[in-house]
Structure 1
Amino acid sequence: MKARVDKLLRKALAYHESGRVDQAEPLYSAVLEHDPNNADAWHLLSRISLQRGDWKAAAARVLQAIRMRPSIPAFHTSLGEILTAQGRPWEASLCYREALRLAPGHIPALVNLGNALQSQGQYRDACVAYWRAIQAQPDCAEAFSNLGNALRAEGRHDEALACYLEAFRLRPDQPEVAVNLAAAHLQLGHNTEAEEWARRALRSRPGLVQGLSNLSVALLNQQRPAEAEQAAREALAGAPSAAHLHSNLGSVLLQQKRFDEAEIACRRALKLQPGYPEATVNLGVALQFQDRLEEAAQEFAGVLRTRPAFAEAWTNLGTVRQSQGRNAEAAICFDEALARNPVHAKSHFCRSLSWLLAGRLAEGFAEYEWRWKVLSEMPRAWSRPRWDGSPLGGRRILLYAEQGLGDTVQFARYVPLVAARGGHVVVECQEAAAPLVRSVEGVAEVISQEAPLPEFEVQAALMSLPGIFGTSLDTIPARVPYMTVQPALVDGVRARLGEGSRLRAGLVWAGNREHANDRKRSIPIETLAPLQQIPGVEWYSLQAGEKAPAEIERAGRWMRGVLPEPCRVEDLAAAMSCLDLVISVDTMPAHLAGALGRAVWTLLPWAPDWRWLEDREDSPWYPTMRLFRQPRPGDWDGVAARVCGEVRELSIKASRSGTDEHE
């Protein structure tokens, strides 16, 4: 009889191990018909029930095995796995500990105990369990991989990466390990490596959902949103009920500025998993960019009630408060974020903008250096040491533009200070800005951003110079003009304009439509239409771009065109030099007029960019500039009415004095 039972059990086990559970199950039952007290058969039937998700039957069967042979550690481990599958990790850990009491080196119990502890947030204790498993079995790839997961959860990403690499060395055929390697590289900011590991996992197992998810994130971080969206949607096709995949798709859509679609994706994630923090934060961002600011704030605040240590949510709540013009509250949010995560780069960067807006320039520009941690790519100039402000002694220094044309114009003012430290100053900037940058005192050479880098010893970003020089509100280098335009270009514009006795004013009503904040800083041309009713003023369009003529035509042609097509920055500068007044929204021409020392009025949204500070009508950056702020969010009509009144007064003064020179 025993021989027959053993033969049946071996045959059933062979079927089971080959995945043919439907053939194994009746054989296990046959064993129990002959030997009802066969603990191994009860245990193996329990494993089949667990595979099928029948936890009640699985538990009943393994408990039978334990009653018959309570000293077998594998039985207690299986009971722990059943409890884990039911979402009862604390009870499961008791089972694993009992297995380890019986056999301290039992690998499955050690690994599963680590998993149970990790699911309860006890990452350090989990690491101990995995390490014990590795000591008992140094080639246990699963223990190395799971140890990597626990270390990653603790923020020990370099150590996690080392564990994953060892797991991959032991089991290169396991795509899950490649997935973990991709995730570790993502958290270290190694997006290219993350993409490579995700693709390796997918080559091993096409359609692997987590591989596609990691690939999507890696591509998104490399500013490849179309490819990222394709990977995100493929992942969703494989697991449509996975909340995190809907949230990931929301992130992809956010980067593509498809905010309404992002909102839908995030709400789907939250329907599947109510309260899911990452999806809630993404939803808040989608609402924020639809200007539904208070709704966005409520989403972020809701996350923080249940997860107060979530630095990203604190930071996003801060950016909402900034958009609402509540900068002091925003600063508190960024401080809260950094109290929870002192190295959270986005929080540092946002706090720098808050400090700069508040006029705390020395602190703000020092904190502004955190922007480099936010960028996905480092400037090519970083091949040489960063200049610290020390005497240059004739060394060649490369100063480079890193952001928009307006930033280049604004911070080129620091070149004379750098040259005064004894340096041969080479400026790398946008091709469009090069002619005017060449006119700045102290510039020895100008190269475009597309040109090969010249020889140089040290480097600095133009926007890092205020921090290097310790700039405060009282020490801003504000002597204007610090840029000049070729006299021949100015003479050409004057000839086209001809003689005139009326006030000549130029208008810029829109910025770069690709700018993240353009919807708030640009003004519909119709809003400025009342300006045409002011007597004694000739209006000129300083709006560059293909759409400008059509907009002027639609508005009734009350402005004259003065710019050639195509228009270069120096053409714009020449036109400004022939006008009495420039009125511009917050975009490059406002900076250019200020750098040229022209009278310029800058029209600002309710929550302006940091450089315009708070609650003042002048700018310490540009002595010839006046600021016109929205009296309430979105109120461009109020700005236009005030500008109309001021222009009318200016026109009256001009007609009385009989001169075209105005402050």
Structure 2
Amino acid sequence: MANPHPSISQAEQLFSQGLQLHSQGDFARAMQTYEQVLKLAPGHFGALHHVGIVAFQVGNYDMAAGFFRSALAVDPGHAGVHSDLGNAQREMQHIDDALRSYDHALALNADHADVWFNRGVALQAAQRNADALHSYERALALHQGDDQAWSNRAAVLVQLGRHDDALHSAQQALACNPHNIEALSHRGDILLALGRPDEADASYRQALALVPEYADAHYKLGLLLQARGRPQEALQCYDQAIRLHPELALAYKQRAALTRSADDRQQVARFLAGYRQFGKELQDAGRPQSAARAYAAMLELDDADAAIWQLHAQVLNTAARRDEALASIGRALALQPDNASLHLTRGFILRSARRYDDALGSYEQAVALAPRHSETYTNLGSLLDQIGQADRAMENYAQALKLDPDNALAHWNQALVHLRRGDFERGWREYEWRWKAETLSVYKGRRQFRQARWSGREPLQGKTILLHMEQGLGDAIQFCRYAPLVAARGASVILEVKKPLAALMATLPGVARVVVRDEPLPAFDYQIPLMSLPLAFATTLATVPHDVPYLSSDPAKVAQWRARLGERRKLRVGVVWGGNPDNPNDAHRSIPLAVFARIFSDQCEFISLQKEVRPDDQALLDTLPVRQLAGQLHDFSDTAALCALLDLVISVDTSVAHLAGALGRPVWIMAQQPFEWRWLEQGSGSPWYPSATLYRQAQRGDWATVMDAVAADLAGTPYSQLIMP
């Protein structure tokens, strides 16, 4: 007899395969398998739970929390998932939320030792030491052999001033597990507090004998050696601790203090040179918090060096610590008030803090101090363009290029203005300077190929060409439209994109093969980045390829979504209010959910197309009339299939807006001031997407007026005008 539910049987088989891969530590393939399960059975509890577990294990705690919530929507009585959600919330420093999740778990099963332990960790992080002690004791009552619970209990007892009891707990932890390095470290702390330094020294060294990379033990041993009058050994311990754990702020301070007290100028000079290099390495590695600690340690020794204060300010700004950054650049300017570079840095920090008028003053001061410096005009021009003074911006770019015709950033900034004004001929040409502008992320991610770059002039008949993604997901969706035009020249087209786009791009006409980025490439004769194709085809406003739709949805996935969504009783509207938070422009383009929410009403069925919801939005979202399907949107082909069943998409300027436009679906796009170049300077339509309607900010930062207009238009739009088949 045939299986009446083949997809369910197949889902269970896949889930078993996923569990096996997961147990082998193959997280990537396990995740892929679990996602295949969810495509067949979107409400599969085990798959939802285990996707969350994998996400947690790889450090994506926000994603993990989302899947744990989805699992709890299927089975709200599962204590383990409540506990897992609490762990994810704790890692994101949402301690109150974590405690509520642990309490939910314990209400379902009070004999769960791990939950009591995790609850203790959260309480300890919140410095609620008495409550943490109670939780650890409950955990130990259920599992006396838990060495980590004994160790954490010891640390809490130290905070409560109960050193004798703490020593007993540390000893108990080591009796359970002699290799518990945290317990050895805690025992050293306790012995030192009890006036037993020799035993403390031995405990720290025992921990390091087990794990030489244990930075905390190096630091604590350094403190002990410094207190015992052995400064050179202490310095070695601090240096080792900092190399192993650059975030260990106290080690920097102790190291600097010890160097300063030695009154050895050569040693101080060596320290400053070494830590300047170390700070730069951390900065280049994308670790601004650690770099800030290195520079702060330098300032402990020399607070009269404006250059160090400037470095300190720059990394603090990168870490979004604006007030501290401004304080540091202020110290630098107090030392060198006529240094144009310092004024530029101050302007950049103020601009990052959205204090544009103040930033303008700093940039103008830099120009006044360095009128022959091309970079000052480039920065001033960029800010002027951002605040809506494009003509003045172009004047400054022209001056920058007069001083330095090879100023790549000035060329590229000019391109953005030309393109926004519809002057595509000059815009595309200047846009190519992105490959020489060293501060741009696209430059840092540039690729080197031995194959020649196609310029648009070389014959392609019988050739194979690689079109490769260079910037964001939305950019790839917008400019992949050129692939059929390239194929029409007689070429075999290979399209390389990031994995979330791969299945969607397989629907693009003219593409012989889609390759996922970072996978091996087949042989090809020419290559070109996607966003250089408009120049290769000499695109003007009149010749923008607008054969839309050029992407399509998978009919099988559309059928699955149709079954999940049920009968349509009112207008179906997909919504996106926030983009990728890592995008430098996200603070300007994303809309606070509380403001976006004014469009919601009973008139429509609203469906969230957000792949990930920020924790700050989740609580509000749960109160709104919006269907949440994030756990079922695995890639853009899933979102495309869902869009096929929507009558309208309302989105900020993000990849989903491009997807809806490329599919030919009605899409209303909210555009921020200054307008992104692809939406031009004015008008409610787009040459790129005929189905798009633009809602433009009249004033920078004013989303409330925009959303009022969207809400009014939505309320006044007849159902029949938007309804899609």
- Give the counterpart letter for 2:332 in structure 1: A
Aligned mates of 2:313, 2:478 — CA distance in 1: 36
Find the counterpart in structure 2 of residue 529 from structure 1: 597
Find the counterpart in structure 1 of residue 364 from structure 2: 301
Q: Contact (CA 8 Å) 1:504, 1:579: kept in 2 or not?
A: yes
Among 585, 589, 592, the residue aligned to 2:659: 592
Aligned mates of 1:215, 1:277 — CA distance in 2: 26
Aligned CA distance change for structure 1 residues 346 and 418 (closer, same or farther; 3 Å): same
Query: 2:625 aligned with 1:558, yes or no?
Result: yes
Aligned CA distance change for structure 1 residues 329 and 558 (closer, same or farther; 3 Å): same
Aligned mates of 1:312, 1:456 — CA distance in 2: 39
Q: Deviations over 1:396-434 (max 9, x none)?
A: 211111111111111101111111122111111110011
Find the counterpart in structure 1 of residue 70 from structure 2: none
Shift of 1:594: 0.4
Find the counterpart in structure 2 of residue 452 from structure 1: 520
Find the counterpart in structure 2 of residue 541 from structure 1: 608
Aligned mates of 1:555, 1:636 — CA distance in 2: 22
Query: 2:503 aligned with 1:435, yes or no?
Result: yes
Q: Contact (CA 8 Å) 1:384, 1:458: kept in 2 or not?
A: yes
Shift of 1:554: 4.2
Among 572, 576, 586, the residue aligned to 2:643: 576
Q: Deviations over 1:491-544 (max 9, x none)?
A: 1112222222421111100000111111111111111222223x5322111111
Find the counterpart in structure 2 of residue 343 from structure 1: 406
Shift of 1:548: 7.5
SS in 2 for 1:582: strand
Aligned mates of 1:226, 1:556 — CA distance in 2: 36
Q: Contact (CA 8 Å) 2:484, 2:509: kept in 1 or not?
A: yes
Find the counterpart in structure 1 of residue 533 from structure 2: 465
Q: Which moves more between the two structures, 465-474 or 378-387?
A: 378-387
Aligned mates of 1:641, 1:388 — CA distance in 2: 46
SS in 2 for 1:261: helix
SS in 2 for 1:394: coil
Shift of 1:641: 0.7
Aligned CA distance change for structure 1 residues 204 and 399 (closer, same or farther; 3 Å): farther
Aligned mates of 1:528, 1:431 — CA distance in 2: 30
Shift of 1:259: 2.9
Aligned mates of 2:656, 2:542 — CA distance in 1: 25
Aligned CA distance change for structure 1 residues 300 and 379 (closer, same or farther; 3 Å): closer
Find the counterpart in structure 1 of residue 462 from structure 2: 394
Q: How does 1:308-323 map to 2 (within 5 A)?
A: 308-323=371-386
Find the counterpart in structure 1 of residue 389 from structure 2: 326
Find the counterpart in structure 2 of residue 517 from structure 1: 585
Q: TM-score, normalised by structure 1?
A: 0.65
Aligned mates of 1:558, 1:466 — CA distance in 2: 42
Shift of 1:325: 2.0
Q: Which moves more between the two structures, 227-236 or 265-274?
A: 227-236
Shift of 1:619: 0.8
SS in 1 for 2:541: coil
Find the counterpart in structure 1 of residue 698 from structure 2: 631
Aligned mates of 1:504, 1:598 — CA distance in 2: 12
Shift of 1:565: 3.6
SS in 1 for 2:563: helix
- Give the counterpart letter for 1:267 in structure 2: G
Shift of 1:379: 3.2
Aligned mates of 1:456, 1:204 — CA distance in 2: 57
Shift of 1:344: 1.4
Q: Contact (CA 8 Å) 1:396, 1:458: kept in 2 or not?
A: yes
Query: 2:708 aligned with 1:654, yes or no?
Result: no
Aligned CA distance change for structure 1 residues 249 and 453 (closer, same or farther; 3 Å): farther
Shift of 1:207: 2.3
Q: Deviations over 1:51-89 (max 9, x none)?
A: xxxxxxxxxxxxxxxxxxxxxxxxxxxxxxxxxxxxxxx
Find the counterpart in structure 2 of residue 63 from structure 1: none
Aligned CA distance change for structure 1 residues 218 and 563 (closer, same or farther; 3 Å): closer
Q: How does 1:111-130 map to 2 (within 5 A)?
A: none
Q: Which moves more between the two structures, 506-515 or 444-453?
A: 444-453
Among 302, 310, 313, the residue aligned to 1:247: 310
Aligned mates of 1:285, 1:620 — CA distance in 2: 34
- Give the counterpart letter for 1:447 in structure 2: V
Q: Contact (CA 8 Å) 1:603, 1:627: kept in 2 or not?
A: yes
Aligned mates of 1:235, 1:474 — CA distance in 2: 58
Aligned CA distance change for structure 1 residues 222 and 553 (closer, same or farther; 3 Å): closer
Aligned CA distance change for structure 1 residues 598 and 615 (closer, same or farther; 3 Å): same
Q: Contact (CA 8 Å) 1:232, 1:245: kept in 2 or not?
A: yes
The count of aligned residue pairs is 455
Q: Contact (CA 8 Å) 1:502, 1:660: kept in 2 or not?
A: no
- Give the counterpart letter for 2:315 in structure 1: V
- Give the counterpart letter for 1:386 in structure 2: R
Aligned CA distance change for structure 1 residues 445 and 227 (closer, same or farther; 3 Å): farther
Q: Which moves more between the two structures, 369-378 or 294-303?
A: 369-378
Shift of 1:604: 1.2
Q: Contact (CA 8 Å) 1:247, 1:278: kept in 2 or not?
A: no
Shift of 1:204: 12
Aligned CA distance change for structure 1 residues 305 and 553 (closer, same or farther; 3 Å): closer
Query: 2:478 aligned with 1:410, yes or no?
Result: yes
Aligned mates of 2:617, 2:290 — CA distance in 1: 35
Find the counterpart in structure 2 of residue 506 from structure 1: 574
Query: 2:428 aligned with 1:365, yes or no?
Result: yes
Q: Contact (CA 8 Å) 1:501, 1:660: kept in 2 or not?
A: no
SS in 2 for 1:642: helix
Aligned CA distance change for structure 1 residues 311 and 232 (closer, same or farther; 3 Å): farther
Query: 2:704 aligned with 1:605, yes or no?
Result: no
Shift of 1:213: 3.9
Q: Contact (CA 8 Å) 1:552, 1:558: kept in 2 or not?
A: no
Q: Contact (CA 8 Å) 2:467, 2:493: kept in 1 or not?
A: yes
Shift of 1:256: 3.3
Tell me the C-alpha RMSD between the 2 structures: 2.5
Shift of 1:444: 1.0
Aligned mates of 2:274, 2:634 — CA distance in 1: 48
Aligned mates of 2:378, 2:486 — CA distance in 1: 35
Q: Deviations over 1:612-631 (max 9, x none)?
A: 11021111110100100112
Unaligned residue ranges in structure 2 (runs of 5+): 1-265
Query: 2:339 aligned with 1:276, yes or no?
Result: yes
Shift of 1:345: 1.7
Q: Contact (CA 8 Å) 1:563, 1:572: kept in 2 or not?
A: no
Q: Which moves more between the two structures, 477-486 or 258-267?
A: 258-267
- Give the counterpart letter for 1:481 in structure 2: P
Aligned mates of 2:615, 2:552 — CA distance in 1: 26
Aligned mates of 1:597, 1:219 — CA distance in 2: 46
Q: Contact (CA 8 Å) 2:646, 2:724: kept in 1 or not?
A: no
Q: Which has the larger radius of gyration?
A: 1
Q: Deviations over 1:365-421 (max 9, x none)?
A: 111111111245453343321111121122221111111111111110111111112
SS in 1 for 2:512: strand
- Give the counterpart letter for 1:648 in structure 2: A
Shift of 1:280: 0.7
- Give the counterpart letter for 2:580 in structure 1: N
Aligned mates of 2:351, 2:343 — CA distance in 1: 12
Shift of 1:606: 1.9
Find the counterpart in structure 1 of residue 487 from structure 2: 419
Among 315, 321, 334, the residue aligned to 1:258: 321
Aligned mates of 2:666, 2:483 — CA distance in 1: 23
Shift of 1:217: 4.6
Among 614, 626, 629, the residue aligned to 2:681: 614
SS in 1 for 2:649: strand
- Give the counterpart letter for 2:675 in structure 1: P
Aligned CA distance change for structure 1 residues 347 and 540 (closer, same or farther; 3 Å): same
Shift of 1:584: 0.1
Aligned mates of 2:336, 2:716 — CA distance in 1: 61
Q: Contact (CA 8 Å) 2:288, 2:319: kept in 1 or not?
A: yes
Aligned CA distance change for structure 1 residues 217 and 615 (closer, same or farther; 3 Å): same
Q: Contact (CA 8 Å) 2:633, 2:639: kept in 1 or not?
A: no
